[in-house]
């Protein structure tokens, strides 16, 4: 008899181990003679635990827990080529080159230039230059500086059927450069001030002083200054080479997805909080007419010749492939051998770049700083490095200073690691290590202090998820945090945000499940609507909370009503989330987060009203207790309340000795028309 299908949730497992165990046992009971084994087998194969910071809802999507300031684990699902909305294209061959006598650079570059002069097709593609199998000698870089051009080999191996590029010159250089010649142009009068007191990590929206001139689809740069006050708060003023104001400014490239009143919605999350007391933030409109897209390299091995008679020779090919000032480009199925610095580096001006199925082997250089960084992201954002491997590197999967993500290393591994993996220096933010294995060394996200030239806090708001390493140092900087979740290896120190370490969690891959959620429906948007501000109950003079008048009249008669931040008991606190739905919009899912504080013991026995006084839930359904100090964040899955959201507003109230600091309504919205 065939075993009936096990109806697992998205991500491959039921939402809790108990549910998985029950369903598995029931399915086994259909098979005669095996039911008695069900209990034992189910216990052996019980689902892994879930993280308290991000876990599965009943419908299989991810739910995120926020801290007292509204910060949450960022979403990395849009990292990579075209944000994962379309696959990397298979580009048709337009020119073919075979190995010649002597140096081959001129012949290959001529073919690249020939294809670069072709017109772009409707998908932004010109064509591929195919390098036939064999070896090609190159004493200078190959350069791709036009959109839609791909350099392709016959295979990244040493066989007769493989294609190998040999770096022959006795000097440090990059063998293949994919890069634009231009730079972004900030529009005159295009700067807008972000007016929120605090924009949490993970947010995709904020208010601006003037939304005029901003439209969906527009490129913007979110600027977060590095002020002296922020540097002092981090302790980076006390380094031997202190950080200087303006030297660690973060520039987060984003695309506007929507405007509602003063609120601007963007396509990717903020990775370092915008805090008014540290200078807040601004956005700039910009254009970049010369930036290249849809170019790449694939199926090629690069080899750097070196002088074996010189110990740790460094006068030879340094980097195999670099991609910078480019968007939606890629490197895949490539191998580097003996390059002193890197297989692939993703540099300034890079966005939505993918590095896939690639390997960095046995660098030749000194084993010291600025060497052997197998796969590096330095100033690029929304990049994905996936299914890549290194051998004998120092910092295998690494980022540089002020690299503001999100960026993700997924299912990568290293052997014979000479040093740790992790952000290397000076505040790289929004970085994911997902299913990364480091054999023989560590994954560290920490304060590196005076190491190097004063690296200081290397990374912030980074996540290590279901990884394996010999050890970890994961520390929380002031004003930020770093998460170590479901990972195997020894932990040094206790300063990070740790969860379920020593046992891997479900989903097995955070990135994969995040991408699945973002692509649950075509053209899905994540929209967040905030009431209140993220200030841990600081009373603001003149601050007001939106309340629908009809709702206020219903909630007021039973007793006193209170505003947000009002630290008094015995009150009912009402508010309304208002939002706009366009014709044809469908709300796919909704989640409510509310930050509260108890005004007396037993505050968890109060109730929350969801759009109707006849529709209330005990607070104890969402949290065991609500202390009278600090903040407790309620997280409420609104899957059963979606019909109440169809009118563009959601009325709420909390009563019985509970104060409210802020409320966030997250909607996932998609067009409902079949042709979307």
pLDDT of residue 542: 59
pLDDT of residue 26: 36
pLDDT of residue 182: 82
d(Cα 42, Cα 25) in Å, to the nearest integer? 7
The answer to whether residues 554 and 650 belong to one domain is yes
DSSP 650-664: EEEEEESSEEEEEEE
pLDDT of residue 45: 53
* pTM of full prediction above 0.85: yes
The answer to whether residues 426 and 360 belong to one domain is yes
pLDDT of residue 540: 79
Q: CA geometry: angle at 664 spanning 578 and 9, to 5°?
A: 110
The answer to whether residues 177 and 216 belong to one domain is no
Q: What is the tens place of the pLDDT at every residue in 103-150?
A: 999 999 999 999 999 999 999 999 999 999 999 999 999 999 999 999
Backbone angles phi, psi at 643, to 5 degrees: -60, -30
Of the residues 255, 287, 319, which one is the last residue of a structural domain?
287
pLDDT of residue 510: 98
pLDDT of residue 7: 34
| 42 found inside a domain | yes
Q: Are 474 and 489 in contact (CB under 8 A)?
A: no
The answer to whether residues 205 and 308 belong to one domain is no
The answer to whether residues 320 and 267 belong to one domain is no
Q: Are 142 and 108 in contact (CB under 8 A)?
A: yes
d(Cα 343, Cα 297) in Å, to the nearest integer? 12
Q: Which residues contact 42 (CB under 8 A, 6 or more apart)?
A: 20, 21, 24, 25, 28
| 10 found inside a domain | no
What CATH number corresponds to the domain at position 554?
A: 2.60.120
The answer to whether residues 178 and 189 belong to one domain is no
The answer to whether residues 274 and 390 belong to one domain is no
How many separate domains does the chain show? 4
pLDDT of residue 46: 63
The answer to whether residues 198 and 221 belong to one domain is yes
| 268 found inside a domain | yes
Which residue is listed with tokens 């429906």? 521
| 129 found inside a domain | no
The answer to whether residues 176 and 190 belong to one domain is no
d(Cα 499, Cα 647) in Å, to the nearest integer? 39
The answer to whether residues 610 and 471 belong to one domain is no
pLDDT of residue 544: 84
- In this prediction, the residues of the chain whose per-residue pLDDT falls under 70 are 1-46, 541-543, 557-559, 673-676
Nearest to 565 by CA among 592, 549, 593, 542: 542
d(Cα 401, Cα 224) in Å, to the nearest integer? 14
């Amino acid at each position: 008899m065939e075993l009936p299908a096990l109806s697992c949730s998205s991500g491959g497992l039921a939402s809790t181990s108990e549910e998985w165990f029950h369903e598995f046992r029931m399915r086994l009971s259909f098979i005669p003679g095996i039911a008695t084994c069900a209990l034992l087998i189910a216990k052996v194969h019980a689902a892994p635990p879930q993280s308290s910071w991000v876990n599965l809802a009943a419908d299989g999507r991810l739910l995120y827990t926020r801290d007292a300031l509204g910060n949450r684990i960022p979403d990395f699902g849009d990292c990579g080529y075209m944000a994962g909305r379309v696959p990397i294209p298979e580009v048709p061959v337009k020119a073919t080159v075979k190995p010649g006598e002597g140096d081959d650079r001129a012949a290959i570059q001529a073919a690249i230039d020939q294809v670069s002069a072709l017109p772009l097709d409707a998908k932004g593609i010109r064509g591929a230059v195919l390098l036939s199998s064999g070896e090609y000698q190159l004493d200078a870089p190959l350069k791709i500086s036009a959109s839609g051009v791909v350099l392709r080999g016959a295979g990244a191996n040493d066989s007769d059927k493989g294609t190998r590029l040999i770096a022959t010159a006795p000097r440090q250089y990059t063998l293949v450069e994919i890069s634009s010649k231009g730079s972004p142009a900030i529009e005159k009068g295009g700067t807008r001030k972000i007016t929120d007191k605090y924009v949490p990590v993970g947010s995709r929206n904020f208010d601006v002083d003037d939304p005029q001139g901003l439209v969906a689809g527009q490129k913007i740069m979110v600027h977060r200054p590095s002020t002296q006050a922020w540097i002092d708060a981090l302790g980076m003023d006390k380094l031997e080479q202190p950080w200087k104001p303006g030297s660690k400014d973060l520039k987060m490239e984003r695309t506007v997805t929507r405007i509602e009143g003063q609120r601007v919605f963007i396509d990717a999350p903020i990775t370092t909080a915008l805090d008014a007391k540290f200078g807040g933030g601004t956005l700039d409109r910009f254009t970049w007419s010369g930036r290249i897209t849809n170019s790449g390299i694939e199926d090629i091995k690069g080899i750097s010749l070196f002088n074996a008679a010189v110990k740790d020779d460094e006068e030879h090919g340094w980097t195999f492939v670099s991609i910078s000032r480019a968007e939606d480009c890629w490197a895949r199925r490539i191998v580097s051998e003996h390059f002193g610095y890197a297989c692939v580096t993703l540099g300034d001006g890079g966005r939505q770049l993918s590095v896939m199925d690639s390997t960095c082997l046995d660098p030749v250089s000194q084993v010291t700083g600025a060497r052997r960084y197998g796969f590096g992201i330095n100033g690029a954002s929304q990049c994905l490095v996936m299914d890549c491997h290194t051998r004998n590197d120092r910092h295998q999967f690494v980022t540089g200073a002020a690299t503001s993500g999100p960026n993700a290393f997924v299912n990568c591994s290293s052997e014979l690691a000479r040093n740790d993996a992790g952000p290397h220096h000076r505040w790289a933010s929004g970085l994911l290590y997902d299913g990364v294995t480091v054999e023989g060394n560590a994954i560290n996200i920490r304060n590196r202090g005076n190491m190097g030239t004063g690296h200081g806090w290397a990374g912030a708001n980074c996540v290590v998820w279901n990884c394996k390493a010999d050890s970890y140092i994961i520390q929380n900087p002031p004003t930020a945090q770093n998460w170590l979740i479901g990972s195997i290896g020894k932990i040094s120190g206790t300063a990070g945000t740790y969860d379920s370490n020593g046992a891997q969690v479900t989903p097995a891959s955070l990135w994969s499940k995040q991408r699945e959620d973002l692509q649950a429906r075509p053209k899905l948007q994540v929209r967040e609507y905030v009431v209140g501000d993220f200030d841990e109950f600081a009373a603001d003079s003149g601050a007001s909370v939106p309340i629908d008048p009809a709702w206020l009249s219903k909630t007021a008669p039973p007793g006193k009503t209170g505003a947000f931040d009002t630290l008094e008991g015995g009150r009912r606190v009402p508010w309304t989330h208002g939002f706009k739905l366009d014709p044809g919009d469908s709300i796919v899912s909704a989640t409510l987060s509310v930050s509260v504080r108890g005004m007396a013991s037993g505050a968890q026995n109060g109730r929350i009203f969801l759009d109707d006084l006849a529709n209330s839930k005990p607070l104890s359904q969402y949290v065991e207790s609500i202390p009278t100090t600090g903040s407790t964040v309620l997280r409420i899955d609104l899957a059963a309340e979606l019909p109440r959201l169809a009118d563009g507003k959601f009325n709420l109230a909390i009563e019985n000795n509970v104060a409210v600091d802020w409320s966030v309504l997250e909607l996932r919205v998609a067009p409902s028309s079949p042709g979307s």
